[in-house]
Amino acid sequence: MLASSIGIYSAEHAAQPDVFENAFSGIWWSVSAMLTVGYGDIYPITVVGQIMAICIAFLGVGVVAIPTGIISAGFVEQYQKDQHSDIKHTDIDKVGEILVGAGSEFAGLTVGEIKKEYDMNIYVIIRDELTVLATDSVKLKQGDILIINSDKLVKRKKRR
């Protein structure tokens, strides 16, 4: 600000002595040009002053607008992390897969029945190269692969 006010005063004082009377009028112009779009009461008329005004206006955008966008993006990112911080990630030891084979006790049951009877959550069913969302009403068929979550898996692995 100080450098731009002294520079504009030096460039414009000879051409407009009544407008740029002293360095403080240069500071007024510098502040209004760098922080806003200017009030129009003081403006450069020489080529050097106009070139300086263009550079100072770009500097004003660079000093104010660009960091504001970067800081705002950081705030939004942190806010989104805070909003999703209540989501708990399942321990990988508790996730497994089960093949519903011939004569399996799961064949013909619905996902909801398995949740109640066996205390396990089925996330996804892989059926004939398709991925099926495991809603409570989906019936299991022979050949299905179940991606599940259960505390019983941890107990079985520890016994081995």
β-partners of residue 147 are 97, 124
Q: What is the pLDDT of residue 45?
A: 93
Residues of the chain with CATH 1.10.287.70: 2-83
Q: Is 80 exceeded by the pLDDT of residue 50? A: yes
Level-2 CATH architecture, domain 2-83: Orthogonal Bundle (1.10)
Q: In the prediction, which pLDDT does 32 show?
A: 82
Q: Check residues 150 and 146 and name the one with the higher pLDDT.
A: 146
Q: 47-60 and 23-35 helices cross at what angle (nearest 10)?
A: 50
> What is the reported pLDDT for 81?
81
pLDDT for 96 beyond 60: yes
Q: Which of 152, 70, 88, 76 is nearest to 118 (CA)?
A: 152
Mean confidence (pLDDT) of the chain: 83
Instruction: Determine the 3-state secondary structure of 79 from DSSP.
Output: helix
In this predicted structure, what is the pLDDT of residue 160?
45
Q: What is the pLDDT of residue 153?
A: 54
Helices (H) and strands (E) in the chain, counts: 6, 4
Q: Is 121 exposed, middle or buried (0-12, 13-18, 19+ CB in 10 A)?
A: middle
Domain with CATH 3.30.70.1450 in the chain: 92-152
Q: Give the mean model confidence (pLDDT) for residues 130-141.
A: 90
pLDDT-derived band at 152, boundaries 50, 70, 90 = low
Rounded mean pLDDT, 27-52: 85
Mean pLDDT value of segment 60-72: 85
Q: Which H or E run contains 147? A: strand 145-149
- The CATH architecture assigned to 92-152 reads 2-Layer Sandwich (3.30)
Residue 89: its pLDDT value, please? Answer: 54
92 — pLDDT class (breaks 50, 70, 90): low
The pLDDT of 37-55, averaged and rounded, is: 87
